[in-house]
Structure 1
Amino acid sequence: MDILATLRRAAWHGGEARVRAPLRLGVGTLLLFAVAVAVVLVLGASGLVAPAGGGLALTGVVSLLATVGGLALAARFVDRRRWTDYGLRIDRAWWVDFGFGLALGAGLQTGIFLVGWGAGWYVPTGTFVSEGSFVAGFAVVLFLFLSVGIYEELISRGWLLTNVAEGLRFAGDRTAVVVATVASSAVFGVLHATNPGATALSTAIIGLAGVFLALGYVLTGELAIPIGVHVTWNLVQGGVYGFGVSGLGVPATVVETRVTGPELVTGGSFGPEAGLLGLAGILVGSAATAWWVRYRTGAVRVHPSITEPDLLPGGEE
Structure 2
Amino acid sequence: MHESGELPFVPAMVIVFAYIAFAATWEEFIIRGAMLTNLAEGATGFVPRWIAIGLAVTISTLVFAFLHGAKVTHLSQYGYYLIAGLILSGVYVLTGELALSIGFHVFYNFTQSAIFGLGHSQQTPELLAVDIVGPSRWVGEEGLVFVGFAILGGLLLLAYIRWRDGALELNDRITTYNTR
Match of 2:63 among 187, 206, 223: 187
Match of 1:257 in 2: 130
> Which whole-Å CA distance do the structure 2 matches of 1:219 and 1:235 have between them?
24
What is the number of residues matched between the two proteins? Answer: 175
1:296 partner SS? helix
> Which whole-Å CA distance do the structure 2 matches of 1:148 and 1:219 have between them?
23
Q: CA 1:280–1:258 in 2, change beyond 3 Å: closer, same or farther?
A: closer
> Which whole-Å CA distance do the structure 1 matches of 2:69 and 2:57 have between them?
18
> Which whole-Å CA distance do the structure 2 matches of 1:248 and 1:131 have between them?
19
* TM-score, length-scaled by structure 1: 0.52
Letter in 1 for 2:151: L
Q: Is the Cα–Cα contact under 8 Å of residues 117 and 124 in structure 2 kept in the other structure?
A: no
**2:16 aligned with 1:148, yes or no?**
no
> Which whole-Å CA distance do the structure 2 matches of 1:198 and 1:144 have between them?
25
Q: Aligned-pair distance for 1:201?
A: 2.4
Q: Is the Cα–Cα contact under 8 Å of residues 216 and 225 in structure 1 kept in the other structure?
A: yes
Match of 1:234 among 95, 109, 117: 109
Residues 285-310 of structure 1, C-alpha deviations (whole Å, 9 max, x = no match): 22222222221111111000100111
2:69 partner SS? coil
Larger of the two Rg values belongs to structure = 1
Q: Is the Cα–Cα contact under 8 Å of residues 113 and 124 in structure 2 kept in the other structure?
A: no
> Which whole-Å CA distance do the structure 2 matches of 1:309 and 1:227 have between them?
22
Q: CA 1:306–1:160 in 2, change beyond 3 Å: closer, same or farther?
A: same
**2:86 aligned with 1:218, yes or no?**
no
Match of 1:294 among 142, 155, 162: 162
Residues 92-125 of structure 1, C-alpha deviations (whole Å, 9 max, x = no match): xxxxxxxxxxxxxxxxxxxxxxxxxxxxxxxxxx
Q: Is the Cα–Cα contact under 8 Å of residues 64 and 85 in structure 2 kept in the other structure?
A: yes
> Which whole-Å CA distance do the structure 2 matches of 1:256 and 1:279 have between them?
20
2:121 partner SS? coil
Q: Is the Cα–Cα contact under 8 Å of residues 20 and 110 in structure 2 kept in the other structure?
A: yes
Match of 2:178 in 1: 310
Over aligned residue pairs, what C-alpha RMSD do you find? 1.7
> Which whole-Å CA distance do the structure 2 matches of 1:177 and 1:188 have between them?
16
Normalized per residue, which structure has more strand?
1
Q: Is the Cα–Cα contact under 8 Å of residues 117 and 129 in structure 2 kept in the other structure?
A: yes
**2:74 aligned with 1:199, yes or no?**
yes
Residues 196-215 of structure 1, C-alpha deviations (whole Å, 9 max, x = no match): x5432222211210110111
* TM-score, length-scaled by structure 2: 0.90
Match of 1:162 among 23, 37, 57: 37
1:252 partner SS? coil
Q: Aligned-pair distance for 1:132?
A: 4.1
Letter in 1 for 2:143: G
Letter in 2 for 1:295: W
Q: Is the Cα–Cα contact under 8 Å of residues 131 and 251 in structure 1 kept in the other structure?
A: no
Match of 1:171 in 2: 47
Q: Is the Cα–Cα contact under 8 Å of residues 131 and 252 in structure 1 kept in the other structure?
A: no
Letter in 1 for 2:81: I
Identity %: 31
Letter in 2 for 1:294: R
Matches within 5 A, 1:1-317: 131-169=6-44, 170-195=46-71, 198-244=73-119, 247-267=120-140, 271=141, 274-312=142-180
Q: Aligned-pair distance for 1:284?
A: 2.1
Residues 19-40 of structure 1, C-alpha deviations (whole Å, 9 max, x = no match): xxxxxxxxxxxxxxxxxxxxxx
